[in-house]
């Protein structure tokens, strides 16, 4: 599945996706430009933009395992705000709750779920043996002082062998190559304090929702420093099947 916003701006995204023939169900796959995000602003001026199912990094098939959300948060308020994983939650229309997965967890899921490639050369013995036969015969004369001497040289059979044992590369064998998941770690959203005027960007990762779900809502909460009141911005999205 892939996700589209209920807002008009994201309708444009869906049209663009079908026009480009994206088969992975991921916004921004390959060389595709980043789609238009869904943006909301809090009463305090905090601006949050969300782009669901957008992942232009490696591994390219990340969406087969988790759903990435690209997040951009700009703190236009006069106070530092604090974000934590506990303040972020995803719901489907059945009220099934999904919490963000840490980047380390996603990398581990990917490496333990993805078949590994193998490649190794080794040597094995090879033996070469040659066998030859030689025949020769006939009469001959040996001339010398005082006469000559006849002799008969009969057939000769000889067997020779050349059997060196040496090593050479056979068809390749295989060794494990773990998938490079460094982008999953380095591109994750850095949670914690966001100072006034500052902007943070990065990805949140969620377990893929159930196949029966057709709608989800992403709630992103934050607290202003020194305040116990939690501010929450909600981002509703529709789910559509991959083309």
Ranges of residues in the chain with a pLDDT under 50 are 7-31, 116-149, 152-153, 159-163, 165-175, 243
Rounded to the nearest 10 degrees, how much is the dihedral formed by the CA atoms of 80, 85, 88, 91?
Answer: 180
pTM across the whole model: 0.64
Instruction: Give the per-residue pLDDT at 11.
Output: 37
Cα–Cα–Cα angle for 229, 230, 232, rounded to 5 degrees:
145
For the stretch 160-197, pLDDT in tens is: 444 454 444 444 444 456 788 999 999 999 999 999 99
Please, what sign has the CA dihedral across residues 8, 12, 14, 18? positive
For the stretch 209-228, pLDDT in tens is: 998 999 999 999 999 998 88
CA 65/CA 210 separation, integer angstroms: 13
Residue 89 in contact with residue 98, Cβ under 8 Å?
A: yes
pLDDT averaged over the chain? 73
CA 50/CA 36 separation, integer angstroms: 9
Residues whose CB falls within 8 Å of the CB of residue 50, separated by 6 or more in sequence, listed in order: 37, 38, 39, 69, 70, 71, 218, 220, 235
User: In CATH, which of 3.30.430.20, 3.40.50.720, 2.60.40.1230, 3.20.20.140 is domain 2-116+179-240?
Assistant: 2.60.40.1230
Of all residues in the chain, what percent carry a pLDDT higher than 90? 50
Boundaries of every domain in the chain: 2-116+179-240, 124-168
Q: Report CA-CA distances (Å) from 79 to 73, 198, 220, 233.
A: 14, 11, 18, 17
Which strands, in side-by-side order, build the sheet including 66-75?
38-41, 46-52, 66-75, 199-207
């Amino acid at each position: 599945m892939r996700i589209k916003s209920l807002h008009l701006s994201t309708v444009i995204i869906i049209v663009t996706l079908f026009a480009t023939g994206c088969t992975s169900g991921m916004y921004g796959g390959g060389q595709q430009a980043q789609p238009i995000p869904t943006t909301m602003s809090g009463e305090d001026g905090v601006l949050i933009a969300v782009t669901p199912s957008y992942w232009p990094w490696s591994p390219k098939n990340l969406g087969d395992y988790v759903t990435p959300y690209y997040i951009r948060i700009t703190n236009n308020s006069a106070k530092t705000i604090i974000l934590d994983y506990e303040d972020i939650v995803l719901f489907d229309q059945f009220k099934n709750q999904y919490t963000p997965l840490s980047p380390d967890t996603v990398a581990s899921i990917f490496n333990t779920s993805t078949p590994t490639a193998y490649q190794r050369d080794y040597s094995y013995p090879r033996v070469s043996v040659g066998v030859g036969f030689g025949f020769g015969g006939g009469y001959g004369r040996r001339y010398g002082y005082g006469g000559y001497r006849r002799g008969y040289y009969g057939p000769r059979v000889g067997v020779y062998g050349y059997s060196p044992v040496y090593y050479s590369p056979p068809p390749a064998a295989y060794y494990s190559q773990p998938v490079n998941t460094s982008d999953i770690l380095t591109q994750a959203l850095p949670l914690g304090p966001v100072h006034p005027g500052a902007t943070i960007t990065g990805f949140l990762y969620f377990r893929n929702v159930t196949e029966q779900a057709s709608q989800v809502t992403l709630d992103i909460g934050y607290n202003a420093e020194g305040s116990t009141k939690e501010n929450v911005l909600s981002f509703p999205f529709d789910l559509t099947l991959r083309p």
